[in-house]
């Protein structure tokens, strides 16, 4: 993956984020193999999902906003299921 521009993010944080994205991608690939998910590019999808959820929570923390954890989890589950083409939760 090529980054645009230069990052001031620490190498340690970059490494942790890469590991998180790799775990999400691995989970997506398992779901594809089990024919539960319908995703054309697991790597890009993992990055988008990871950053969507992480970015929202990080932004709320930086703004010192109260976060309704249950609401965030519910919304994230819907977002991820739709993105992956998974059936709705029962």
Tens-digit pLDDT profile for residues 32-71? 999 999 999 999 999 999 999 988 988 888 888 888 999 9
Predicted confidence at residue 8, as pLDDT, reads 67
Q: Does residue 61 fall inside a structural domain?
A: yes
Paired tokens of 37: 């998910």
Q: Does residue 80 fall inside a structural domain?
A: yes
Q: pLDDT class for 80, splitting at 50, 70, 90?
A: very high
Predicted confidence at residue 85, as pLDDT, reads 94
Q: Does residue 89 fall inside a structural domain?
A: no
Q: Does residue 47 fall inside a structural domain?
A: yes
The domain of 53 spans: 11-84
Closest residue by Cα to residue 81 from 33, 41, 45:
45
Q: Does residue 73 fall inside a structural domain?
A: yes
Q: Does residue 5 fall inside a structural domain?
A: no
Q: Does residue 90 fall inside a structural domain?
A: no
Instruction: Give the whole-angstrom CA distance, residue 63 versus residue 57.
Output: 10
Q: Does residue 34 fall inside a structural domain?
A: yes
Determine whether 53 is exposed, middle or buried from the number of CB atoms within 10 Å of its CB (0-12, 13-18, 19+).
Answer: middle
What is the domain count for the chain?
A: 1
């Amino acid at each position: 993956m090529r980054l645009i521009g230069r990052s001031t993010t620490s190498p340690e944080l970059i490494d942790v984020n890469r590991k998180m994205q790799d775990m999400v991608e691995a989970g997506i690939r398992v779901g594809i193999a089990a024919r539960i998910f319908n995703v054309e590019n697991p790597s890009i999808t993992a990055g988008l999902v990871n950053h969507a959820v992480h970015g929202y929570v990080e932004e709320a923390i930086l703004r010192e906003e109260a976060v309704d954890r249950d609401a965030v989890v519910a919304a994230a589950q819907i977002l991820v299921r739709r993105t992956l083409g998974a059936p709705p939760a029962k």
